[in-house]
Structures are given as structure tokens and as C-alpha cells.
Chains A and B, each alone.
Chain A
């Protein structure tokens, strides 16, 4: 039976009241009996009193007779009236006392005998000359005897009263015993009931309330995993349930908040990285590391799209040390990654085992169970993919996908910025037309190289190159063709130099090559190769050049041999160049 708290409390209260009522009723009944007994007792003692009075008055009756016989005083006759009246009154009072048949019988006997006695007394009282009268004296004796008899009769009243008293005593005793029994019974019941009530209340009211109090306190303090355990089947249990539900909700809300907080924090960190790192390579490495660390995702990979080959390649990854992953390449539309790039829509695979159409090769490790792949890009251009992997299925949720989308947007922006940065940087140091480093950069770079070379006590060579009869070409074929020529020449130079060398556009038709770690001989040798290559290269309209082909004049200087200062070094190379020009052009001259 499910009882609500109100019912439980009412129940206990009512039982308590019932117990109390029973006790009170019993007490009341006992009190009633007691007062009855007292009343009866009073009545009895009154009876006894009356009987005594009667006997006394009967006794007194003989006095006037005795007096009359002794003194002959006729006044005793009037005295008699009073005394007999007294006896009658007493008898009348006794008559009013409730009595049984025996009592009435005694009353009747005493009454009749009183009359007889009175008559006997009157007889004597109306004798003439009673004094010394023997007859009178004899009658007197009879009167005394009779009087004794009547009083003896009256004594029966006493005995009857005593009997009644005894009966009352018995009745009283019986009642007392009943009362004692009743009270003992009540005490036992109370003795059992009250502890039971206490236990009941304690179990169903006090303890649950305390548990509730404690539980609510715990939840209030923030211990949201606390659950109140109450099983009383009433409102308290319902209330506890509500609190537990509330704790669950709070816990969920807190988890959600924590997650969001973490996301925001990660996003912030990622943004910081993205916004402070302009070198793409650095950027990508830091990105995968930060995402992995902040979100506690063991494996993260960034793939970039190679514009030229239209292929995705893994630009950076972390967490694949065990697998020894080297590189992942995919074509657009190929497999999971290729499709994501193609569609531009992120994919969340909660469980690789239950994912149909997922190529095994796309699961980059046998331990991986869950994959998240999100594209990033600018405008309509997808630049690459951000991928995360987990070793347990169902651990990525929809909010992880959302989060990664947000991150990928940022990545797209950052990569674009990096590219722009690079572009800008390049713009600052490159020559717009030829793509070679510009004059400014050349000087900066030369200084750095000289300083470094000096530190290591090595050599560095400088080649100054000038196009022969360039003005003639320009005038003949127009400036656009002239520009085109320079461009082609620049390309050729780039191809001709070694990896560590730098090709710069020094002036209009003048170029400079910085050759680190290179001695004079090697430099001159290289310069010669370049001169030859240029003179043999099929530049458009080279036939129209005065020398029959496109040629260059080259001057070479070396640090530290020719000069230890940048300006000196340049001048030395320049001078050599000038000599080459004056010695007929299409020539290499070393300083």
C-alpha cells in the first residue's frame, strides 16, 4: 500500500490519539467507578449515622419513664412527645435510604416495635403515683427489656449495612482489578506501540528527511554525482527522485558546459596558433599538436590539396608513431578523404566496423574505430582536410563534428593568410617580372652570407651578369618582348644555379648571383657554363642581336680574397664585368 507522507503522519498521529483516547476513556471509567464508590461510601456512612441516631433516640425514650417513676413529674409526658417524634424522624430518614427486602423488613419490625414501646411507656407515664410503685417498677423493667430488644432490632440495620459495605468492597476490588488490567494492557500496548511509532516515523519520516537534507546539501555543494537513496513510497521519495533528476540534468549541463569550455579554449589556442604562425609548415605542425593535446585526441592529421596534381597529401600528423605512417596520398573523389574534399562536406564515422563502403586503406590503423574528416578552405576552394581518429567507437559526437567545422574554418583562414603572408613576403623580396630576388633582398642576403661565411672562414663568390645589347633588343622588338626575354633568361639562370645559390635581378638587365661556399675557380667555371648556356639558348629574335645570338657579360669576385666588404666585393665584380664588356662582350672575367 503506497501511503503518502501526510497519510503516514496522520496515521501515526491518529494511532497515537487513539491510544490516548483509550487511556483517557479507561481512566474516565475508572474515575467514574471511583466516584460511585465514594458516593456509595458516603451513603453507607450516612446510613450508619442514621442507624446510630435511631438507636440513640430509642435509648432516650426510656428516660422520661425513669424520671417519672423517680420523681412523678408529669412534665415528662410532654418530654415524651419530643422523644417519640425524634425516633419517628430517624426512622423516616432510614426509610428513605434505599434498601432491599431485608432492610424494609427491619424497618417494619422496628417501626412496629417502637409503637409498642411507646405504648408501654405511655402506660407508665399516665399511672397515678408512680413513685415507689412496685407495679410501675416492674413495668419499667419490661420497658427496659423491650427497649433493648428494639435497639437490638435496629442493630440489624448495622449488620445489613456492613454486608452492603462488604459487597461494595468486593465490587470496588473487582473494579480496581479490571482497571489495573486495563491499564496494564494499555501500558503494554503503549510500550510496544510507541517504540514502533518512533521506529516508523524515524524510518519513514525522520531518516528520509535527513537523507534528503544531506543529499540536497551535497548536490547544492556541487557534488552532482550524488544520488539520494530513499525508498519510502511517498512524496519524500518522489521529491528525492526529482532532486536526483535535477542532479542528473545539472551533471549533464555541467558536462556540456565543460565540453564547450574546452572547445572554446581549444579554439582560442588554435586561433592563437593560427594567427601567430605565418609559416605554413610550422602552422600545420603546431595545429595537429595543439588539437591533439587540448582535445585529448591521440591521432590528428591535416591533409593539403596540391593544386598542380589535384592530389591530397598528408601535410602533418601526430599519433601515428606506432604505425610508422609516412604519407597518405589520395586523389580527389578517391575514398573517404577524396570524397570529403570533393563534396566539401565533413564526415563523421562513429564506428568503422558498421560503416558500409569504407575502404580499409582509409582506416589508417587497425586500432582506429572512429573517424572525423572535415574540409577546410577559402570561398569555394577546398585547401585540405582536418582529420581526427579515435580508438573507441561512438566516441565522436555531433558536437565534435561541429567543433571541427569551426576549427577547419579557422584553419582555412589561417592557411590563406599564410599564403598571403608568403606572397607578401615574397613580393617584398622578389622581382615582379622575373620572379628572382630583388635588389634589396640581394644586398640583405649578401650581407648575411658574407657574415656567415666570414664566421666559418669559408669563401663566397659573387657573379654579376649583364645582357649584351639589351637596349638594341628592346628598341627593335619592343619593351614587352624585352620583358619576356628577361623572364626567359631568369628561368634559365634559376635552372643553371645550384640549390644553395641565389639568383637576383640587380638592375634593368643586370643580374647578380650569390654563390655561398664557393671559391673563385668554381665560380668562374660556373659563370662560364652559364655564359655558354645563354648564348646557345633559343631566345626569340636572338638572331637580330649584333653578336648574332643573345649574350651576356659576366664579372666574378670572391670573398674574402677580392674584398672583405659587401660594397667592395660588388665593386670588384662590377669592375670585372666592365672589363668583360670592354673586352668584347660574351665573356667571363674574374676580379
Chain B
């Protein structure tokens, strides 16, 4: 616990500094050759609400971004919930249905790698961070207000 806190703080600080410095758009990315290349907005919402867990028999792996403007924007556009509402929703959901909460990877690089490597992965992050788009497809772009 004592080790975790400083590292988490550092990482989050980095995230925030990066995201807030150049924050303008969020890209929603999926695996380029995965089954999610042509999901709809409604599907994305379902995914992030834990309602849709498989696509073409492939397990969907939804990924979150740390607390912040990016996450807020994303949630607002997709599931139309605040971060708090989202958390409360999931608090209920995991106990009632046992569905796992979407994971929040440690760094943006992890998000990118996971999406590249996992067929059913879907995540979002500030568009600027995305440099190398190989194996990744941007399916949606959301503006941060």
C-alpha cells in the first residue's frame, strides 16, 4: 500500500499533465483486426456498461482511462453518466451480477499495447498520444469540452 501510493500518484500526474497540456480530442481505439472494428456507439455504451461482453464469440476487453477530463468526456458521450454515477453503477453491478469492472491500465502505452495485442480490446485515450497506429483502428473521436 505504501509503495503503491507514490507510484500511482506519479503516473497519474504524468497522465494529467500530458492530457491536460494537449487535451482536445479522445480517440476510441480497437484492435484493427478484431471484431470491434465496426461497433456502433450504442454497442460501445453497452460494452462499457458490461451488457455486451462478447462479439463474434471473442471476449471483449474494455479499458478505461484514469479519472479525469478524458474519462469524463468519454463517459458523457457514450454511457451518458458522470464518473461518480458510473462508479456507483458498477459498484452495484459487480455485486449483483459479478461482471468485472473495466480495467484501468497503468499507462497509455499499456492501453495501446493491450489494444494491439488483444482482439476484443477497446479503449480510449487522448488522440495526441497516439503515434503509431499499426494494428489499431480509431473508431470514434470525442471532443473534450
Contact = CB atoms under 8 A, between A and B. Distances in A.
B9 interface: yes
Contacts of B5: 67, 73
A78 B100 contact: no
A129 to B, nearest CB: 15
A75 B94 CA distance: 21
Contacts of A63: 1
A85 interface: yes
A74 B83 CA distance: 12
A495 interface: no
Contact of A126 (B9, B64, B83, B91): B83
A122 B91 contact: yes
B87 A85 contact: no
A115 interface: yes
Interface of B: 1, 4-5, 8-9, 12, 64, 66-68, 83-84, 87-88, 90-92, 94-96, 98, 100-101, 104
Interface in A60-85: 60, 63, 67, 73-75, 77-81, 84-85
A115 B9 contact: no
B84 A88 contact: no
A85 B66 contact: no
A112 interface: yes
B66 A78 contact: yes
Contacts of A67: 5
Contacts of A60: 1
Contacts of A80: 87
Question: For chain A, what secondary structure do more than half of its interface residues adopt (helix, strand, loop), or is it mixed?
Answer: helix
Contacts of A85: 94, 100-101
Given A60-B1, A81-B104, A85-B100, 5 more contacts: A78-B8, A84-B101, A88-B98, A119-B91, A122-B91
Contact of B67 (A77, A91, A111, A112): A77
Interface in A70-128: 73-75, 77-81, 84-85, 88, 91-92, 111-112, 114-115, 118-119, 122, 125-126
A114 B95 contact: yes
A73 B9 contact: yes
A81 B92 contact: no
A119 B89 CA distance: 9
Given A63-B1, A84-B91, A115-B92, A74 B67 contact: yes
A81 B101 contact: yes
